[in-house]
Structure 1
Amino acid sequence: MNNFQYKRVSSPIAAITELAKDPAAKLVAGGTNLIDLMKYGVMSPDKLVDVNHLNFNEIVKQDGSLHIGATVRNAVASANADVLKYQPLLSQAMLSGASPQLRNKATMGGNLLQRTRCGYFYDISAPCNKRQPGSGCGAMGGYNRMHAIFGASSSCIAVNPSDMNVALTALDAVILVTGPKGDRKIPISDFHRLPGTHPELDTTLDRKEIITGIVIPDNAFAANTTYIKVRDRASYAFALISVAVAMELEGTTIKDIRLAMGGVAHKPWRLKEAEQMLKGKQASVENFKMAAELAMKGARAYEHNAFKLKLAPNTMIQALKTASGIKA
């Protein structure tokens, strides 16, 4: 690990100032991802700006939304009474991610900014356009079992590793940020990027901006949500495929629905065509199979991850059955 300066800040303005005057500075809160990247030599910031003491640690139900501060720990959010009552999908997703120890340290803002777990990104001897732009993509012709089937480019086929991000995408969350130009709100669908020709850019967040919170609009999904994560082992493993489902039922009719998939793209993958197909339809296995087939349009596999083309729709069908209460 490289030598670095450490600066603790107590106000958003102080954090923004430190980022503005030092292009190599990085924010640190829980540090569960950043410190690992520093240990591996993947990232070598000259300065760490500690934002743990910023006052973004509340969860408040107000104004038709659930507001969650950026420095709230994942463990706190997943057990919060309002989260469990109004947005249980978020809790389900976070509880399926990482270990209890990591959830006790990881923050909501940090989870949004998690970097990929692609082995070629972590291996500093391997080519990786995300780590070193222009060096190539080792995964493209290498071992790509964990990699994308949607939205990839010739520059990068890595996937977003976060479970929380998938749930927030299904719930139409909005990310609150502040920077030198003031406050702004970013819909989560616009927050994470596809790789394109600049896979080194994970999000649309400006380098001098900081995340202050997350807002989830009220919905009628609480009674029918599920997050299913298929992984190599039951504990502390990243998703091969995950599916977030939130639906509103009137009897057995799907009045409204949100669907998102993880482990398949550089950003959480929203399944809007499948949502539109299911709205107003009966909750049935037949309709779920049709929606899953529609969701897989445009999917492309690589040498070692072709199994995802079957695993993804099957996981989606099971998640829809679970959320709707269908047993067949």
Structure 2
Amino acid sequence: MPAPIDLRSDTLSTITPQMRRFMADAEVGDDLYGGDPTTQRLERRCAELLGKEAALFTASGTLSNQLAIRVHTDRGSEIITDAKYHINFFESAATADLSGVVLNPVDSPDGILTPRLLDAAVDRKRRARLTSAPSLVWVENTVNYYGGRVISVSDLADLRAASLAKGLPTHMDGARLPNASVATRASLAEYAATVDTVAVSFAKALGAPFGSVLAGPAELIERAGVYRLWYGGGLHQSGFMAAAALYALEHNVDRLAEDHAHARLLRELLVESPAFSAPEPETNMVIADVSGTGLNSAEFVSAATEAGVKVARWTDTQVRIVARLGVDEAVVRDAVRRLHQVADRQPSPAMKP
């Protein structure tokens, strides 16, 4: 049995020995008793990189997002977002329960929330004292559902102008914002300048085992720190966790270009078989249509797993394949070879009863 190759997500990025040593050697205090020096160093560095007044280290991207919702919104208000964003798929229950806020999602064709769609979301509902009022505009970058699609700084700036005209703040779920920055060569600060607050994950493509940061105006971040305690997110000797994030920022951002190149290579090799089709990836994800194999996505995932390659079911006909830290060119080529073998073992759709 060949060694398994897991390409389901970049959350499976390999933690390097160098990162482990950096974590073990971290200077720690107590983040709840006067502060942890490594955590404070990380927060200062993130605020600098993102061009914001302050930053708050949290245990997860979901916690960062939920803290942003809490500081931006009032109970009974609504967030205007896209139906395909993480907040709608995975955080709608938490948003309603923790902050008493509802979502008003639009359904864009490409994951890009535009001023026109913002207008439509505001105008399609009657606005009166008995109804919810918009309190926050929410974007995601890169867009996971669309295979790591990048929203440009100019598109975000246009949305920012429209949201400000309506008196609405904007939050960015930038879990994979470093991928967007590397792909476009626009700095993290340039992206963050288009929103009031931004959350960035260290536990996806950056290869840390955990952690996220929320950055924005100092007053909002101070309030978010209080809610972090309320939500059980206070961390004592957090420097060990923060050290992983610091290492990732210093060593694993520029190397994201390797993941992007590997994703492009994977797609190029995969579509050499007529059983597969996939658009050119913008960052580190390939969304591949497998209907040409004669299998639906769930069946293909099962067959691929038996062949030693784990991919993620995406839609009924598509799977997601993610390049990540720990996956080099040789692994990419081996994975595609195995996936081609899966397709070759299936009877052609025309031969199926």
Q: Which has the higher helix share?
A: 2
Q: Which has the higher strand share?
A: 1
- Of structures 1 and 2, the one scoring higher in RCO (CA 8 A, sep 6+) is 2
Which TM class, normalised by the smaller chain length? under 0.3
Q: Which structure's CA Rg is the greater one?
A: 2
TM-score of the two chains, using structure 2 as the length reference: 0.26
